[in-house]
A and B are shown apart, each in its own frame.
Chain A
């Protein structure tokens, strides 16, 4: 549909030179000066609009020409299309210094609206907002000439108050308050009549208009609202719709500041509002000052909307409008209650009934959010009932509607908006994080940045481990949700075909298979289950492997690394030793058990290994406390092959922190044990036999192993001769034919240099100890920020000193 033709027009419009543009505008000038407001002019103005709007940069138009456009715009008989174009061009030119328009003299509502749109686009350089605001109120104050309607002005008024509420004086807001009451509450309940078309067949006898009806076709039971249906609408019914559309904004702007004093002379009884004098029925409310009176009428309007939204709409668009109205009505009631707490009890009972009515209907799920917001905002008064509302919201809605992007967005925004309250007061919020993660898993690109705000709020010492598992299983969760959704839509007959004895042939079958049912249920749990063991998920991860290439799962997997990083930075703030130990164990264990997406695994390993270092730094004792597990991990060759990153960092951590200077409990036996295990590893990977399938270990693993072994040796000095011997054999290793085929010249060089440096260090055990196990003071970042004082330099210096050899006495 978007043809190259349009692209061409755009390009041409951009490429037009100033000279051509000048000619073009003089052509338009002559058309306009001849009062030609026909198709030619329309055509030209359309093109001119394209020229000025198609580029980001300001087009220079002659001041006289701009002036002419403004004059034409205000011509009494100017066709609507030309007006629209002139206004659009002037807006596109704005902010502009050539503007001479002013709204002061304009009487006609439509033109005032159009001119104002240009003035408001000027960025308020000359206080245009104030001027327009004053003019609009002035016109609304008076009576409009026959055939004109204020309904063009209400959206403009709404715009002005959102730009600058201070544009209206208190008297003016009182006036509008009164008008709002009339518009909202006292619109006619009879239908309007069709505008006589004056055509040949038009019936001269005006038919008696019938009463307005409800959305289900029944005769209206009460006053007119936006959910009232008529064949045609009267002017005041249009205004009713417009007034309700801007009501929330109005109340927010002018509903709360400074209460009217009770003996203010500006009472409704003496107001100039004709309509309310005639049709007001409530006597008590008529004694209220305008602001309070509007509040009351607005409240009644909302109550009526809630009642009307219970009717079955005959037309689908009206059904949609009912839902939007419900959301608006509840939000407005909330605002009213915040402004005047005497409404809270009435609202509470009304919303309780509403909640009972709609909570079972998923089509109304989005309306549950403003209801919950109400209970939150008035939780002190509504404490008893609110629990049920939150519980329903957090347990049911995400589980059932995770696949609705709009609901997911609104739900997460709702959580973000209230996050502080939730974390402090609402245990259900923190308990339902598995449910919240469903929203993320399914809508990950859209929600990731929002979720970054939520994750810290649900993280605590009690939830940290479970959330860690959940994050790592997020792609798995996305896959499971996909199956859940498909299973729900699969025909019943298909659902029943599985044979409980046989292995399920597909994921969909497995979903209902007794063998997997409980694991699926665990993965798709709605609340936290801290005592359950996440290890159960292993078979499920394998089963779901077939969905690893599913785009939604891949998108979800892409979000995990960044969330993990955030996770660790938050956990680091509160984690104590035992929790860190637990985390490290889970980390080592889960690094093996990840959903089978190669890029995902690599990313996660990368993040986990860097976080491992941070955890060790936070709690160095973990190396001693977890020595059994670390020994096991670092003594397994397959760990180098499958997760070299993590293996490398574990080995580094052992070398760094397995020392009495970090933990007094560290014994020589422990050091020796680690030494033996790591020595065996280094031996294993360096004593390669030439064969077809030599796995390549990166030179980094080799150098890190060598360094760690040297560090350990420096702390248990009986090991030094053994280590030196090992290091001296590295040359032979590097030169073996098997190595030559795997490592490059540079790699070999790297390994040999490091071996030589370490060997040299070991020749001076006390220096080695200083260099390899620096005291806390030396290890402080101050010494490492400057590369000239860091470990490699110390080692190089030591080497150089030794190589120079004789005459140097260490000490």
Chain B
């Protein structure tokens, strides 16, 4: 049940997304000067296993600083990925289907112009971080399903005719300690709908109640406009719709205090824009 065990399970990567650069370093050590052709068949290194429990957690200074002035409060990223909540189901790997990082973490202006390899590394680092989040959501969801005491086979994978209730969908929250995989503390809020996971990576000071409302709202419109319940491919093919939905309900990662009438206003705008 341990987090690491579950995480490790996602570690057996396929060749095309080889597991170099374990999440755990902010500046991924991945891609050390290697050139990546079409990724296939690239050398695979074993993913570093995370210790069974984050024992360093208590070694770290116990005192958390108060929210510092100017402390960041925003949503850092949004992602959609596959979920395999049945423990032991080897239906495949955890795959990120869509991700949006709102602005990058790196802000130190380096004195020199970064070379193309630096840029590649940075991009790779972002992708690795997102993948690490997706994996952890996947394993957390498994544990949650397990704890609920329902048999593994009971996890709904497809319910074609019934409307999905997002209120009852499995959801949760966990913290990512600094350095694993983001430089700073992050809080991840997730929601599982059938075999898809949706997650917001937030700063720790973010209003979690508002973030929850927003995540449900975004997922609701994604399900509706990407027809996620009938056709499987729109989630990867129609990124423009996802982008536009995010730009309405989570512009630049800003959570909005939307009452129902504001939501309906945005819904109208969305309809006008996506129906064209």
Contacts and interface: CB of A to CB of B under 8 A. Distances in A.
Contacts of A227: 259
A599 B38 CA distance: 47
Given A3-B231, A5-B232, A80-B273, A226 B239 contact: no
A215 interface: yes
A201 interface: no
Given A56-B127, A417-B66, A6 B244 contact: no
B155 interface: no
Contacts of B106: 123-124
Given A55-B39, A124-B109, A252-B71, A416 B64 contact: yes
B168 interface: no
Nearest to B38: A17
B138 interface: no
B89 interface: no
A630 interface: no
A46 B254 contact: no
Contact of B259 (A50, A163, A318, A456): A318
A792 interface: no
Interface string B51-88: 01111011010111011011111100000001000000
A1 B63 contact: no
Interface string B256-274: 1111111101000000011
Given A81-B240, A95-B114, A120-B104, A159 B74 contact: yes
B209 A226 contact: no
A229 B261 contact: yes
Nearest to A237: B262
Contacts of A252: 67, 69-71, 73
B260 A318 contact: yes
A448 B232 contact: no
B254 A155 contact: yes
Contacts of B204: 413
Given A80-B244, A446-B174, A457 B62 contact: yes
A28 B33 CA distance: 32
Contacts of A452: 53-55, 57-58
A297 interface: no
B2 A558 contact: yes
A164 B252 contact: no
A165 B254 contact: no
A2 B240 contact: no
Contacts of B165: none
Interface string A223-238: 0001111111100001
A419 interface: yes
Interface in B223-275: 228-233, 235-241, 243-244, 247, 251-263, 265, 273-274
B58 A453 contact: yes
A674 interface: no
A574 B2 CA distance: 30
Interface string A428-461: 0000000000000000011011101101110000
A114 B3 CA distance: 38
A81 B244 contact: yes
Interface in B84-109: 92, 95, 97-107, 109
A16 B39 CA distance: 10
Interface stretch (A82-90, A342-350, A714-722, A737-745): A82-90
Contact of B236 (A6, A154, A244, A449): A6
Contacts of B62: 419-420, 453, 456-457
A409 interface: yes
Nearest to A417: B64
Contacts of A117: 102, 252
Given A1-B194, A455-B58, A324 B261 contact: no
A317 interface: yes
Interface residues of B, number: 112
A165 B128 CA distance: 28
A56 B54 contact: no
A396 B100 CA distance: 40
B147 A245 contact: no
Q: Which of B101, B207, B209 has the most CB of A within 10 A?
A: B209
Given A85-B243, A163-B107, A323 B57 contact: no
B149 A11 contact: no
Contacts of A420: 62-63
Given A159-B103, A252-B73, A1 B232 contact: yes
A1 B229 contact: yes
A256 to B, nearest CB: 6
B259 A226 contact: yes
Contacts of B276: 79-81
Contact of B172 (A84, A405, A416): A405
A449 B124 contact: no
Interface in B126-148: 127-128, 131, 140, 143, 146-148
A694 interface: no
A556 to B, nearest CB: 9
Contact of A317 (B1, B109, B263): B263
Given A6-B236, A242-B256, A406-B212, A123 B147 contact: no
Nearest to B211: A324
A410 B97 contact: no
A46 B98 CA distance: 12
B246 to A, nearest CB: 9
A391 interface: no
A409 B103 CA distance: 27
Contacts of B60: 453
A162 interface: yes
A15 B38 contact: yes
Interface of B: 1-3, 16-17, 31, 36, 38-40, 52-55, 57-58, 60, 62-64, 66-67, 69-74, 82, 92, 95, 97-107, 109-110, 113-114, 116, 119-120, 122-124, 127-128, 131, 140, 143, 146-149, 157-158, 172-175, 177, 193-196, 204, 207-210, 212-213, 228-233, 235-241, 243-244, 247, 251-263, 265, 273-274, 276
Interface of A: 1-7, 9-11, 13-18, 42, 45-47, 49-50, 53-58, 79-82, 84-85, 87-88, 91, 94-97, 113-114, 117, 120-125, 127, 129, 152, 154-156, 158-159, 161-165, 215, 226-233, 238, 241-242, 244-246, 248-249, 252-253, 255-257, 315, 317-318, 320-321, 323-325, 327-328, 331, 366, 377, 405-406, 409-410, 413, 416-417, 419-420, 445-446, 448-450, 452-453, 455-457, 550-552, 554-555, 558-559, 562, 566
Q: Lowest 7 CB-CB distances: which A-B pairs, in order? A: A3-B232, A155-B254, A155-B251, A452-B58, A56-B127, A226-B257, A324-B210
20 contacts: A5-B232, A6-B232, A9-B237, A11-B16, A15-B16, A55-B39, A56-B124, A58-B120, A155-B251, A159-B103, A164-B107, A226-B258, A233-B262, A321-B258, A323-B209, A446-B143, A446-B173, A450-B175, A555-B146, A559-B53
Given A15-B38, A165-B70, 15 more contacts: A10-B95, A10-B97, A16-B38, A58-B120, A85-B239, A154-B254, A156-B251, A158-B254, A226-B257, A232-B261, A255-B69, A318-B260, A324-B213, A445-B140, A446-B143
